[in-house]
């Protein structure tokens, strides 16, 4: 079996797809209406799109039309994934001898007639420095072809299992505990005397916080003014809480909720002079976490991001602007805090060191800025 001759183009394509999928975490994307082309995406890589074209291109005019098609698809993916800059590595494995390759700012064209061509390419070596060694370890025989195919299948199965686990409906214990605590505190506050005492001691007010009662930033997110206030916040928590708890895990979900609430309270202290209570800042933090999750999986969840998450956030912010008595500043603070804390903590099963570092730095910078603004207020 090892002596069976492998088609040269098949050998190139399998080796490259194997490398990009198993080593660089690229995923296949479906582009309708195309034949003999493979499109791969990784939104966390500098080269977000890789395209392998197996079709024969016999002259410059055909290449020109082909590149126009690639650019149109690139722009469509860029629009759908809210990406400002998108570089495509366009690998062509069957070019005619008279064809001349020219690159653009957005499309890097690489001719690969033999596997050694891509190993020598300056651009590829710059962005994928270990490709040369990884490709060298693979032989051009049937045994290695089967092995690479099996590894590709295993990688796909593993990714599918990870996604299935993420979207599996587990019991949202933390969500229910938070709803219970908020409801219990509200019941305790039904007595006018206890209500006034709780508000005086635990509500968020910049004068008290500035005087050293920092705990108010936290305790205020568990107080509610009336049953309607409690109902809308807890209903929102009941709807989106289980999703966030599933996507991020229980501990990260709890931290996002609490820290977003604190950021909402800090925004309110710095930018308003009114006393505030309620879990709205924490709830908007969950919206922020949902937005961050959808953005990281935007290639997969494009319709969900554009059709549900963003409109949901905008509608809730608009309601806050229209209805009097709502602390919109706390909503915005919670939303921003939720995005940054999610960036810092990372999604369950998707936690890159550079994301954690950048998220931590931005969170600390925002926190320090708010504290400074509060102190000089």
Integer Cα distance of 257 and 241 in angstroms: 9
Query: Is residue 158 very low, low, confident or very high in pLDDT (cuts 50, 70, 90)?
Result: low
Percent of the chain with pLDDT over 70: 83
- The answer to whether 223 and 198 have CB atoms below 8 angstroms apart is yes
> Closest by alpha carbon to 118, among 200, 226, 190, 16?
16
Residue 199 reports pLDDT greater than 70: yes
Query: Is residue 6 very low, low, confident or very high in pLDDT (cuts 50, 70, 90)?
Result: low
Percent of the chain with pLDDT over 90: 36
- Name, in order, each residue with C-beta under 8 angstroms of 336's C-beta and a sequence gap of 6 or more: 263, 267, 288, 366
A 10 A CB-CB count for 137 gives 8
Query: Is residue 166 very low, low, confident or very high in pLDDT (cuts 50, 70, 90)?
Result: low
Tell me, yes or no, if the pTM score tops 0.75: no
- Name, in order, each residue with C-beta under 8 angstroms of 262's C-beta and a sequence gap of 6 or more: 217, 218, 221, 281, 337
CA-based Rg of the chain, rounded to a whole angstrom? Answer: 27
Element (H, E) at 37: strand 37-41
Q: Per residue in 60-99, pLDDT tens?
A: 888 889 889 989 888 888 877 777 888 999 998 888 888 8
3-state secondary structure string across 114-143 = CHHHHHHCHHHHHHCCCHHHHHHCCCCCHH
Residue 183 reports pLDDT greater than 90: yes
Residue 286 reports pLDDT greater than 70: yes
Would you say how long the chain is, in residues?
Answer: 377
């Amino acid at each position: 079996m090892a002596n069976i001759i492998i088609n040269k183009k098949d050998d190139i394509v399998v080796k490259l797809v194997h490398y990009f999928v198993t080593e660089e975490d690229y995923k296949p994307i479906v582009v309708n209406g195309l034949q003999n082309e493979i499109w791969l995406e990784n939104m966390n890589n500098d080269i977000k799109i890789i395209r392998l074209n197996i079709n024969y291109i016999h002259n410059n005019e055909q290449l020109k039309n082909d590149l126009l098609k690639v650019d149109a698809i690139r722009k469509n993916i860029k629009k759908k994934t809210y990406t400002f800059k998108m570089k495509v590595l366009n690998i062509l494995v069957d070019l005619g001898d008279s064809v001349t390759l020219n690159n653009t700012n957005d499309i890097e064209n690489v001719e690969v007639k033999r596997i050694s061509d891509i190993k020598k390419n300056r651009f590829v070596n710059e962005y994928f420095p270990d490709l040369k060694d990884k490709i060298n370890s693979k032989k051009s025989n049937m045994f290695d072809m089967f092995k690479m195919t099996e590894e590709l299948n295993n990688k796909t199965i593993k990714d599918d299992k990870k996604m299935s686990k993420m979207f599996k409906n587990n019991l949202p214990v933390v969500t229910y505990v938070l709803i219970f605590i908020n409801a219990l505190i509200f019941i305790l506050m039904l007595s006018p005397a206890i209500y006034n005492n709780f508000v005086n001691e635990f509500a968020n007010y910049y004068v008290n916080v500035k005087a050293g009662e920092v705990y108010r930033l936290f305790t205020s997110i568990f107080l509610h003014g009336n049953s309607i206030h409690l109902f809308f916040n807890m209903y929102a928590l009941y709807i989106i809480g289980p999703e966030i708890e599933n996507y991020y895990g229980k501990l990260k979900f709890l931290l996002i909720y609490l820290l977003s609430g604190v950021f909402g309270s800090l925004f309110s202290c710095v930018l308003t002079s009114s006393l505030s209570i309620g879990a709205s800042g924490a709830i908007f933090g969950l919206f922020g976490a949902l937005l961050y999750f959808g953005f990281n999986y935007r290639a997969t969840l494009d319709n969900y991001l554009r059709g549900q998450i963003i409109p949901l956030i905008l509608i809730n912010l608009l309601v806050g602007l229209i209805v009097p008595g709502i602390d919109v500043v706390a909503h915005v603070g919670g939303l921003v805090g939720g995005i940054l804390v999610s960036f810092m903590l990372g999604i369950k099963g998707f936690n890159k060191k550079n994301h954690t570092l950048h998220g931590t730095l931005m969170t600390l910078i925002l926190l320090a800025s708010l504290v400074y603004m509060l102190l000089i207020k």
